[in-house]
Amino acid sequence: MIKNYIQCRLQKENIQTVSWIPERFAVLDKIIRIKRNDEWDNGWKVTLVGSKLEAKYIENQAHNAKDIWVATSGTCPRGNK
């Protein structure tokens, strides 16, 4: 079975973010939790459901973004690579 991710806009109080979340959670007005700084953060509302991609592409994007961060700053987010 192919695992898909959906790019969604999420809102909690007056904060908004865009994130790739598993397809089963990408439901308009659904309240979900997301992992931020290695901790779960509850109470995020899905306010926009966007594009779909297979998990393998999302994982590649995350890996590439981490490599770019390291190359430009000399450090790595969350101290791991």
What pLDDT score does 55 carry?
A: 85
**Distance between CA atoms of 12 and 3, rounded to whole angstroms?**
26
Kindly indicate the confidence band of residue 32, based on its pLDDT and cuts at 50, 70 and 90. very high
| Amino acid making up residue 11 | Q
Give the residue-averaged pLDDT of 48-70.
Answer: 69
Q: Look at the block and give the residue holding tokens 């969604």.
A: 8
Tokens of 28: 């308009």
Give the residue-averaged pLDDT of 55-75.
Answer: 55
Q: Look at the block and give the residue holding tokens 């909690």.
A: 12
DSSP lists the bridge partners of residue 11 as 16, 45
**Distance between CA atoms of 61 and 54, rounded to whole angstroms?**
11
